[in-house]
Amino acid sequence: MEKTMKAVTVYGPRDMRIEDVPMRPLKRDEVLVRVAWTGICATDLAIYTGESSFVKSGEIRYPCRVGHEWSGIVEEVGESVTKFKKGDRVITDNGVSCGECDNCKCGDRFGCTEIMSVGTINCWDGCYAEYMYMPECHTYPLADSVSLEEAALAEPLSIALGAVKKYEIRPDTTVAVIGTGSIALGAAALASVKGAKQVIVIGRKDFKLEAALKCGATHVVNSTKENAEERLREITAGKGADFVIESSGGPKTVEEAMRIASKRGTVALLAFYERTLDAFPIDTLVSKELTVKGVMGEFGLVPEAAEYLAKGLPVEGMITHRMELAEVPAFFARSAETSGERIKALVRIRP
């Protein structure tokens, strides 16, 4: 077994380095996985620039080995591991629970009070690395019908799935999605395959809205060119959206989400907001009798997300960049200056 591996670490704002880091001994309940592909998330970029609210609050501390969207092949298993063997293709949860707190003992591992998020809050070392260590209980087999490259999308898709599960989509349901990142497009794709009558995606860039149509949206609205609220009312014959998914992370779009929701509609918030709201539209919430739900995803949704990939969920349109591990720091430096035509960038590690 190798003694060191290549890994990317963020040491501070705009200070990202690829280094040789020592391999540690494998714990008895862990699997050692050779990383194949990883996805670059907007949260990773916010950690890199120092703009993440969790960096500012101290919940994410430098140095931090970032990255939490990935797939890989088992290299070695701990002595108590029974579900996996060398050569198995796997995906994992985006966090590691302690197994000891009251919530964990009750079976609610996602409610763990000591949870370590992969590559983010209370950082469990992330996946911009040649190898990952993960507990068996947070690791899942990957079907042969899903490529390792596609499987790197399972984690963001699981967040979208967590949002879509907040509402019972029926054939007469109108779903509106605010935002055009990979989670938003995943939510649009899932809403479409679950049978929503209308899936309306609101964004600011035409190339992303074109990708939304490929992912299953029935309508797209460029909010820089037309009034999104008026356009949505027109599409829905004045009713508004039964279910609104806000994934852009902008304080103003929270207000917009509540305005475009129908009477007694549901609004799901699944972004991290780098700035606090100046005012929360409580009167809108009350007068329309809205239900507002926060979404963080849940442990165990990653394999379900991968099942949708196996069934052909239309996600190829969201992949805009592919690169090698050595290119990651330069890509982050460029992305900190301009987003360019980027939706989801994937990194090939050791497929």
170-185 pLDDT tens trace? 999 999 999 999 999 9
Is residue 325 within 8 A of residue 349, CB to CB? The reply is yes
- Exposure string of 106-139, with b = 16+ CB inside 10 Å and e = fewer, is eeebbebeebbbbbbbebbbbbbbbbbbbbbbbb
| Tokens coding 234 | 């027109």
Q: What is the end-to-end Cα distance of the chain in Å, rounded?
A: 18
Neighbours of 338 (CB within 10 A): 8
Instruction: Tell me what pLDDT residue 74 has.
Output: 99
Is residue 120 within 8 A of residue 10, CB to CB? The reply is no
| Tokens coding 90 | 């796997």
What angle do the packed helices 42-49 and 328-337 form, to 10 degrees? 80
* DSSP per-residue string spanning 187-201: HHHHHHHTT-SEEEE
Instruction: Tell me what pLDDT residue 104 has.
Output: 93
- pLDDT, tens digit only, all 351 positions of the chain: 679 999 999 999 999 999 999 999 999 999 999 999 999 999 999 999 999 988 999 999 999 999 999 999 999 999 999 999 999 999 999 999 999 999 999 989 888 999 999 999 989 999 999 999 999 999 999 999 999 999 999 999 999 999 999 999 999 999 999 999 999 999 999 999 999 999 999 999 999 999 999 999 999 999 999 999 999 999 999 999 999 999 988 878 989 999 999 999 999 998 877 666 677 788 999 999 999 999 887 788 999 999 999 999 999 889 999 999 999 999 999 999 987 789 999 999 986
3-state class (DSSP) for residue 59 = coil
What stretch of H or E contains 203? strand 198-203
Scan for tokens 């992303």, then name that residue.
208
**Rounded to 5 degrees, what are φ and ψ at 129?**
-160, 160
Instruction: Tell me what pLDDT residue 261 has.
Output: 97
Scan for tokens 């990939």, then name that residue.
309
Instruction: Tell me what pLDDT residue 241 has.
Output: 98
Question: What's the CA gap between 309 and 164, in Å, rounded?
Answer: 16
**Rounded to 5 degrees, what are φ and ψ at 139?**
-120, 140
C-alpha pair distances (Å), 141 with each of 151, 285, 300, 313: 11, 42, 12, 19
Instruction: Tell me what pLDDT residue 281 has.
Output: 84
Instruction: Tell me what pLDDT residue 162 has.
Output: 93
| Ordered domains of the chain (ranges, CATH) | 4-156+298-348 (3.90.180.10), 167-294 (3.40.50.720)
Instruction: Tell me what pLDDT residue 275 has.
Output: 67
* DSSP per-residue string spanning 142-174: --TTS-HHHHTTHHHHHHHHHHHTTS---TT-E
Is residue 68 within 8 A of residue 118, CB to CB? The reply is yes
Is residue 253 within 8 A of residue 223, CB to CB? The reply is no
Instruction: Tell me what pLDDT residue 127 has.
Output: 98
